[in-house]
């Protein structure tokens, strides 16, 4: 739910009547309230800021309409919860260093070349440019509160796992990417948890930085060579950027501003979209930047973002999903260990493992697990056909997105395979298992369904770009072994 009121600051809005003829301030005030009410309705209904199309810059609490997050955590019958494994994207942040100069650029262009008689141009010229490079993708205060609230909801949902004693005994494990927005998200989560548990400055609130696990994309050589540093890997994105859909946005923008279309670049179009997005998510304002775009334009720009994520982080290339295999294994290793301890009647070492990373951390894992795969690939030329696609990064990975795996121990099971059960939640909504479509699965059954992955990952490092060399080395070792024994 978005609680921030929507204020419309567009220069195109007509002002309220001066109300000079009204004698009493009371009726003036009520007129004003009425006017504000009408403006709010107009802003939120008539010309919504298209918050469902913001891609990875979507706000968590605006997800799926008005439903309250966390209403669907139903434990399976006769089961008690053993462990929670979570993968959490950092909360809402300021724009990154890369995007701010582009925002400045389009603002500058409008100030220099925009038609000064145009009301929209006037509104944009007088708009105050408050974004700067020092913001550098830092966590926004909203992000701090998103993390604290998530901590409170999770610990309220699983009080046995997030108990004071577990916290004191360091049974809650925190792992984070080294980026300040992730470390700050971890701190905010811990503070939210401490305040929920009525604890202050406890020893339990320590975290480990682990980039190999949470920024695996920086450490996967094959991904770096094949995708990250490969100029042709995002070919489809480049074609779409130069295609008819983007061209139409540029010429519409140019017309609205009285500027030559040749002066507007795709980077500037994206920057305009980000300005509309950030003003809305950070301040709750429908800014005049949104007036430069139409709903159709925003859908095109959402598609451009999804296309990038698809080719760089998801099904576009096999290595994108595979590059996350260590993190994927990490989830299962913790659960295996927990089951072992439970079978030996030992106390559980970690009741919750909370990992803080990026959209780029979450998307490859969900891809490896087989989620949100469309029948046809996302391509530069099928924007229309993909309008109802599953792969919508705004729903999958908004700010503060989270994948939570809940492990249960159940009584009355006939076999070990049935004794432990698993539930998945994405953004606090149940996520059906890809192999069965069910919301609960036996732990053994889930592992079985990923057996092909676990097997093929066991002996090989999928990220090595020298698999041939390694194979020869392995043969050499084998030869030595044979010769000496």
Ligand X SMILES: *[C@@H]1O[C@H](CO)[C@@H](O)[C@H](O)[C@H]1NC(C)=O
- The binding site for ligand X (CB under 6 A) comprises 77-78, 138-139, 180, 183-184, 225-226, 230, 232-233, 412
Of 99 and 184, the one with the shorter C-beta distance to ligand X is 184
Classify residue 76 by its DSSP letter. P
Q: Which is nearer to ligand X, 177 or 351 (CB)?
A: 177
Q: Least CB distance from residue 177 to ligand X, whole Å?
A: 13
What's 423's DSSP letter? E
Least Cα distance to 235 among 415, 377, 408 occurs for 377
How many residues are there in the chain? 485
Alpha-carbon distance of 84 to 215, in angstroms, equals 21
Taking the C-alpha atoms of residue 356 and residue 87, their distance in angstroms, rounded to an integer, is 6
For 363, phi then psi, to 5°, come to: -60, -45
Residue bearing tokens 């220099």: 112
Whether the CB-CB separation of 195 and 148 falls below 8 Å is answered with yes
Least Å distance between CB 376 and ligand X? 18
C-beta of 184 vs 386, nearer to ligand X? 184
Nearer to ligand X by Cβ, of 225 and 342: the residue is 225
Nearest to 302 by CA among 48, 51, 47, 54: 54
Contact 174, 190 (CB under 8 A): yes
Parallel, antiparallel or unpaired: strands 285-286 and 172-176:
unpaired
Q: Are 327 and 216 in contact (CB under 8 A)?
A: yes
Question: Of the listed 53, 90, 107, 140, which one is catalytic?
Answer: 90
Phi, then psi, of 361 in degrees rounded to 5? -85, -45
Rounded to the nearest 10 degrees, the angle between the axes of helix 244-257 and helix 266-283 is: 70
Q: How far is the CB of 364 from ligand X (least distance, A)?
A: 17
The least distance separating ligand X from the CB of residue 76, rounded to whole angstroms, comes to 7
In the bound state with ligand X, the residue whose beta carbon lies nearer, of 72 and 238, is 238
CB of 86 to ligand X, least distance (A): 21
What's CA 385's distance to the chain center, in Å? 24
The answer to whether 217 touches 463, Cβ cutoff 8 Å, is: no
- 50 or 443: whose CB is closer to ligand X? 443
C-beta closer to ligand X: residue 233 or 301: 233
Verify whether residue 196 is a known catalytic residue.
Answer: no
Nearest residue (CB) to ligand X, 47 versus 191 = 191
Provide the minimum distance between the beta carbon of 438 and ligand X in the complex, in angstroms, as a whole number.
14
Smallest gap from Cβ 365 to ligand X, in A, equals 22
Q: How far is the CB of 452 from ligand X (least distance, A)?
A: 24
Q: Which residues 6+ apart lie within 8 Å of 98 measured at CB?
A: none
| Ramachandran angles phi, psi of 73, nearest 5° | -80, 80
What DSSP character marks residue 51? G
Residue owning tokens 């590059």: 323
Q: Where are the alpha helices (DSSP H) in 42-130?
A: 100-113, 119-126
Angle at 324 between CA 354 and CA 396, to 5 degrees: 65
Shortest distance in whole angstroms from residue 410 CB to ligand X = 7
CA–CA distance, 435 with 71 (Å, rounded to integer) = 25
> H or E element: which one contains 108?
helix 100-113
Q: Which is nearer to ligand X, 221 or 247 (CB)?
A: 221
| Token pair listed for 404 | 């939570």
The percent of the chain in helix, strand and coil, each rounded to the nearest 5, is 50, 10, 40
DSSP 33: H
Indicate which residues carry an active-site annotation: 90
């Amino acid at each position: 739910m978005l609680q921030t009121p929507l204020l419309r600051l567009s220069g195109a809005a007509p002002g309220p009547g001066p109300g000079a003829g009204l004698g009493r301030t009371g009726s003036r005030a009520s007129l004003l309230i009425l006017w504000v009410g009408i403006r709010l309705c107009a802003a939120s209904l008539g010309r919504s800021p298209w918050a469902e199309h913001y891609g990875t810059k979507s706000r968590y609490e605006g997800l799926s309409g008005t439903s309250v997050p966390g209403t669907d955590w139903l434990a399976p019958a006769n089961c008690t919860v053993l462990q929670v494994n979570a993968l959490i994207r950092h909360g809402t942040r300021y724009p990154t260093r890369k995007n701010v100069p582009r925002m400045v650029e389009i603002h500058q262009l409008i100030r220099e070349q925009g038609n000064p008689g145009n009301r929209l141009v006037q509104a944009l010229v007088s708009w105050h440019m408050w974004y700067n490079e020092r913001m550098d993708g830092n966590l926004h205060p909203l992000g701090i509160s998103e993390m604290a609230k998530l901590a409170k909801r999770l610990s309220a949902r699983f009080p046995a796992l997030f108990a004071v004693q577990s916290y004191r005994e360091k049974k809650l494990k925190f792992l984070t990417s080294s980026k300040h927005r992730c470390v700050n998200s971890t701190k905010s989560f811990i503070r939210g948890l401490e305040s929920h548990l009525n604890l202050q400055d406890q020893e339990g609130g320590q975290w480990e930085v682990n980039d190999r696990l949470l920024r695996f994309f920086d450490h996967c050589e094959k991904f770096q060579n094949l995708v990250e540093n490969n100029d042709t890997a995002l070919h489809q994105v480049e074609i779409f950027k130069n295609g008819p859909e983007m061209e139409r946005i540029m010429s519409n923008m140019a017309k609205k501003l009285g500027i030559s279309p040749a002066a507007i670049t795709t980077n500037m179009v994206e920057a305009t979209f980000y300005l509309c997005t950030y003003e809305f998510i950070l301040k709750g304002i429908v800014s005049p930047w949104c007036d430069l775009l139409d709903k159709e334009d925003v859908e095109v720009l959402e598609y451009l973002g999804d296309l990038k994520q698809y080719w760089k982080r998801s099904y576009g290339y096999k290595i994108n999903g595979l590059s996350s295999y260590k993190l994927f294994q990490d989830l299962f290793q913790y659960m295996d260990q927990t089951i072992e301890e439970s079978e030996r009647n030992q106390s559980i070492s970690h009741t919750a493992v909370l990992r803080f990373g990026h959209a780029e951390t979450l998307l490859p894992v969900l891809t490896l697990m087989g989620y949100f795969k469309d029948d046809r690939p996302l391509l530069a030329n099928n924007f229309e056909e993909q309008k109802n696609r599953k792969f919508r990064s705004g729903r999958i990975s908004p700010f503060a997105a989270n994948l939570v795996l809940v492990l249960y121990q159940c009584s009355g099971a006939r076999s070990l395979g049935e004794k432990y059960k698993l539930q998945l939640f994405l953004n606090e909504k149940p996520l059906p298992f890809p192999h069965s479509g069910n919301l609960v699965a036996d732990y053994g059954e889930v592992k079985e369904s990923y057996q092909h992955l676990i097997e093929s990952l066991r002996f090989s490092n999928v990220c090595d770009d020298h698999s041939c060399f390694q194979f020869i080395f392995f043969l050499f070792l084998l030869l030595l072994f044979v010769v000496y024994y």
